[in-house]
Structure 1
Amino acid sequence: MEFVTVLADKQVKIGEDVTLRCETNTDKLTATWEKKGQKLCCVEGKHKTGKIGTTFFLEIKNAEIGDEGNYTLTIKSNSESTSCSAMVTVELKEWRTVQWKQHPMISALKGFKISSVDVRELRFLLHGPVGAGKSSIINSIKTIFEGHQYINCLTASALTGESFTTKFEKFNVGNVPFTFYDVMGLEEEEHKGMHPDDIKSVLKGHVPNNYTFKARAPIDEDNRHYILNPTLNDKIHCLVSVIAADKVTLMKDEVIQKMRTIRAAASKLGIPQVVFMTRVDEVCLMTQQDMTKIYKSKKIKEKMTECSNRLGVTMNCIFPVKNYHEETKPSEKLNCLMLEAFTQIVHSADDFVQKNSHKEKNVE
């Protein structure tokens, strides 16, 4: 008793029918269907199971969101049994659109002019847990604008749990007036990883480039490197929280609380905030196979909702992205997803600069 062919994964749009089938080497078998590890309760007019010769099948009519899941067929003969499984993915109606042509977005960003003549560059701070993909985001954006794979910004492995970033590092992007700052990742233990007080000081512009952070000794006014009277050029113009889609459920409450504390500090300063949700391909097979279906994915929307609930960020400020990781050649779809998110933070940062530039002039 064995399978000649096994169940195959299926993708279906809402309202369409889907059939799972496989073939065995004998017809003298009993069969049981399960969904998500539980016996499938067949509904009249919705499900139909059967066998034609040695082929077993399951038909699902008029697919709905609730039909998505892992289906398992177990066949038995006497005391022996064996199983095979397949994933049914239901495409949602597209709930956010993306421009899947990179050149218009790249051209617009290359020609972007900052609202205030007093600000040389828009400054973005990336923060989040170790291994979330902060440094990889910088590598990916520099790869897009510089036309070749950029790997000079060292990245932490999600497996080691250790951050390569120990300094307040500045990374320019090609010939455009945008600068990213990378900091040590957040960790659950109080005296490990980046201290929230240091990030608050970064936001306010008190920390100079290449400053080496000390987990147990946040920078303060007594430190000789401390910038006492920062200008708008020294401050952060947009805070980007980075969370891995496949890790959001597993993130410790202590790390979430640190991120919430940092966000509260940014809110008090009026600094705009967004979330880049990385590693989307690790949580959704449909997205992994076709990046253009990312906003048709139930799984991606679930992860964004969970991220929104845990961090207290609205859904329209969360951007699912994929970094360059295994790829060695450019991917326009990957680039477009990142460029959509990047364009949003550029405009958010520029709005902040424009507003606060007027404030500084009024003070003067």
Structure 2
Amino acid sequence: MLCDSMGLDEKEGVGLCVDDIPHILKGCVPDRYEFSPQKPITPKHPTFITSPSLKDRIHCVAYVFDINSMDNLSSKMVAKLKQIQKEVINCGVAQVALLTKVNNCNEVLQDNFLKMNKAMISQSQIQNVNKILGIPLSRILVVDNYASEREMDPVKDILILSALKQMFRATDDFLEDLPLETDTTAGMFQLCIS
């Protein structure tokens, strides 16, 4: 299951409330819950899940960044990202970063798919994500977006499917580290994309 969350904003009271993050990660937030930037969910909420099962939990967090904005993140946004990442690490959840809006990947993919990070993306942008969040370089993934295309593009599909495969691997690593449960949903996983 892929779960998309409200985006972040550097201003307080706008975007996803950081206080909601631990509850999302632990699976305490019910499906279709309407988040409020000003008021985080609490255990007193009538639909709060007090005993989430493994299938309710988030197993991999994907941070999504516009590649063109990486060098312009404000100190407030970096602080908020680090606060969120601290919660992710405390919960032991796997994490990846997706760099979007990568353009002109055709030439690279036709030449050598493995050279894409070096050829198309400034190493400073990838290293910036690594520096900010400490995510290993192998888990910083690039994708080219579908925006106004009417036809499928095999090059974009390769990037997207490759990123999805890496997210599955990160999720699998997370699940392998968990103690065995008797719950039959142990083989399920969720990705949280924010």
Could you state the TM-score of these two structures normalised by the residue count of structure 2?
Answer: 0.84
8 A contact 2:143–2:159 mirrored in 1:
yes
Task: Identify which of 32, 36, 41 aligns with 1:210.
Answer: 32
Distance 1:355 1:309 in 2: 25
8 A contact 1:291–1:334 mirrored in 2:
no
Match of 1:351 in 2: 173
Q: Map of 1:242-257 to 2, 5 A cutoff?
A: 242-257=64-79
How many residues align structurally?
Answer: 178
Q: Determine if the alignment matches structure 1 residue 305 to structure 2 residue 127.
A: yes
8 A contact 2:5–2:16 mirrored in 1:
yes
In the alignment, structure 2 segments of 5+ residues that lack a partner are 110-114, 184-194
8 A contact 1:280–1:321 mirrored in 2:
yes
Q: Determine if the alignment matches structure 1 residue 240 to structure 2 residue 57.
A: no
Identity in percent: 29
Q: Determine if the alignment matches structure 1 residue 321 to structure 2 residue 132.
A: no
Task: Identify which of 27, 39, 46 aligns with 1:224.
Answer: 46
Per the TM alignment, residue 269 of structure 1 is displaced from its structure 2 partner at its CA by 1.4
Per the TM alignment, residue 288 of structure 1 is displaced from its structure 2 partner at its CA by 5.0
The structure having more radius of gyration, on CA atoms, is 1
**Higher-helix-fraction structure:** 2
Per the TM alignment, residue 299 of structure 1 is displaced from its structure 2 partner at its CA by 3.9
Give deviations 1:20-75, integer Å, cap 9, x for gaps.
Answer: xxxxxxxxxxxxxxxxxxxxxxxxxxxxxxxxxxxxxxxxxxxxxxxxxxxxxxxx
8 A contact 1:271–1:352 mirrored in 2:
yes
- Which structure has more relative contact order (CA 8 Å, sep 6+)? It is 2
Match of 2:101 in 1: 279
SS at match of 1:181: strand
8 A contact 2:99–2:140 mirrored in 1:
yes
8 A contact 2:105–2:155 mirrored in 1:
no
**Compared CA separation, residues 270 and 259, structure 1 to 2 (3 A):** same
Could you state the TM-score of these two structures normalised by the residue count of structure 1?
Answer: 0.46
Per the TM alignment, residue 267 of structure 1 is displaced from its structure 2 partner at its CA by 1.2
Q: Determine if the alignment matches structure 1 residue 338 to structure 2 residue 160.
A: yes
Match of 1:295 in 2: 117
Root-mean-square deviation (CA), in Å?
1.9
Give deviations 1:195-254, integer Å, cap 9, x for gaps.
Answer: 111122110000011100111110011111110010101000101011110011122221
Runs of 4 or more consecutive aligned structure 1 residues displaced over 4 Å after TM superposition: none
Per the TM alignment, residue 184 of structure 1 is displaced from its structure 2 partner at its CA by 0.9
Distance 1:253 1:225 in 2: 35
Per the TM alignment, residue 278 of structure 1 is displaced from its structure 2 partner at its CA by 0.5
Distance 1:180 1:325 in 2: 20
SS at match of 1:262: helix
8 A contact 2:27–2:56 mirrored in 1:
yes
8 A contact 1:323–1:334 mirrored in 2:
yes
**Compared CA separation, residues 291 and 198, structure 1 to 2 (3 A):** farther
Distance 1:224 1:213 in 2: 14
Per the TM alignment, residue 181 of structure 1 is displaced from its structure 2 partner at its CA by 0.7
